[in-house]
Structure 1
């Protein structure tokens, strides 16, 4: 079972990139972030024509998450992260696909930090940790995948000294991710590639892609009940080099 996460940075504007990658990579499950499309503008017909069922949580102009399943229909289990009735951002969706529970997320960026957006990000991580703890308690096989907007360690960022004050790398955010993982989650890519510089994001500016000045922002966390089934993990780095590409590349895992 191949599960991937891909921040598409506008699903309609980059639909050709997404469809090309789906045809090439043939993932069984895909978590998408930054749809940047209202609910009614999700390109369901094109996704279905590519062989995927879908559920999505859209929002005009920004945010938005979706779960795609090849030759299957995701069974939605949650829409929106619990814990704050006033949070209207479309950042979390959850579904069962072929016996695995998939949580798809787009964590807030948090910049500028410090400030209200950074505080919101930390509160969001607290709510995510609570949901993650509840999921582990079920004993079910769970994958939490998405754009976590954090580089967990210095190995996950090109020139870490330049990012010390950024909301993606501040100690509070790295600690929030570490506390989440300490519940028993396995960071799949880092688990199989403990010493490699692996990035999932390259900015559009300053020739970041050409210089490989990247960040590892997109992560797949595995619950204890499924971690032993992890057989491979990686990033489809070449997708970032396609015409009109997202600034993220798809990250993926394979479960036996």
Structure 2
């Protein structure tokens, strides 16, 4: 799911994709209403970062990405969240995945 327009390089380009449908976004919000926290949003909500770049049209080189890989935390885990990072440069490796790792650190 692309939860917000800010989570993609061009909301208009993704408007017809199931990842950005209002119904899909509503289902994502339902998880939040059940008490789950989007760990990235809890730490870096104002920062535009992506987790996926298509292999086509030079998307990586043009930074035409979307944030579709999420770490949803229970209330207990969210309270223990220390840091979260998106390892963008993994996409620059030879023969990379089109997704990059999202890594979180939690307090003991």
TM-score, normalising length: structure 2: 0.96
Secondary structure of the corresponding residue to residue 49 of structure 2: coil
Structure 2 alignment gaps of length 5 or more: none
Map Cα deviations across residues 139-184 of structure 1 (whole Å, 9 max, x no partner): xxxxxxxxxxx11001111100111111110100000111111111
Residue 190 of structure 1 deviates from its aligned partner by: 1.1
More strand by share: 1
TM-score (norm 1): 0.41
Secondary structure of 1:234's aligned partner: strand
Matched-pair contact (CA < 8 Å) for 1:218–1:251:
yes
After superposing on structure 2, the runs of 4+ consecutive aligned residues of structure 1 that deviate more than 2 Å are: none
CA distance in 2, matches of 1:233, 1:226: 12
Instruction: Say which structure, 1 or 2, has more relative contact order (CA 8 Å, 6+ apart).
Output: 2
Report the equivalent of 1:56. none
Higher helix share: 2
Structure 1: where are the runs of 5+ without partners? 1-149
Larger radius of gyration: 1
Provide the rounded CA distance (Å) in 2 between the counterparts of 1:209 and 1:163: 16
CA distance in 2, matches of 1:245, 1:162: 24
Does 1:162 pair with 2:13?
yes
Q: CA RMSD in A?
A: 0.7
1: CA distance, partners of 2:33 / 2:106: 21
How many residues are matched?
Answer: 107
CA distance in structure 2 between the partners assigned to 1:202 and 1:163 by the alignment? 13
Which residue number corresponds to residue 60 of structure 1? none
3-state SS, counterpart of residue 197 of structure 1: coil
